[in-house]
Structures are given as structure tokens and as C-alpha cells.
Amino acid sequence: MAPSEKKARAAKPKAAATPTKAATRTRKPKAVEPPAETEVRSEHVAERAYYLWLEGAGGDPAAHWLQAERELAAA
């Protein structure tokens, strides 16, 4: 091997070192707020209004609904 060939081989740039992995942060889970206790779901109101109707409570469906809302909000 001639001296010029050795220089050519030595002149090649070395492969870049693999970059180190940066430390990643772990995210804190977001706090999930529970639903408000005073919030009455319409499904519950509808079910209670139905039972009021079955019990023979007087009034129309709107009156049953309003009474069911009052009862569930007080509970």
C-alpha cells in the first residue's frame, strides 16, 4: 500500500457518534373532576316520574316530572 493510500483512508471522517437519548419527562395525569353531586340526571328524573305515575299520583306528566326533580334534588 502506498503512503498516499494510507492518508486517503485516514482522511475519511469517522461516523458520527449516535446521539444520546434525552431524558423525557413523565406527565402527571390530569385530575378528573367528579360530577357535581347536586346535578340530577334526566334519566333519573324520568324514572322517578314514571314511578310516581305508577303509584297513581295525581297530575299530568309535567307535574310528575317537576315533583321527581324536587325529590331528587332534595336527596
Q: pLDDT (tens digit, 9 = 90+) per residue, 33-62?
A: 766 555 679 999 999 999 999 999 888 999
pLDDT of residue 57: 82
Is 31 within a domain?
A: no
Range of the domain at 65: 40-75
Q: Tell me if 10 is assigned to some domain.
A: no
- Give the distance between the most distant pair of CA atoms in the chain: 112
Residue 39 DSSP class: -
How far lies 57's CA from each of 10, 25, 29, 53, 54, in Å? 99, 61, 48, 6, 8
Position 64 in a domain: yes
Is 90 exceeded by the pLDDT of residue 14?
no
- Report if pTM > 0.75: no
Report how far residue 66's alpha carbon sits from residue 3's, in angstroms, rounded to the nearest whole number. 101
The mean pLDDT of the chain is 79
Residue 22 is predicted with a pLDDT of 72
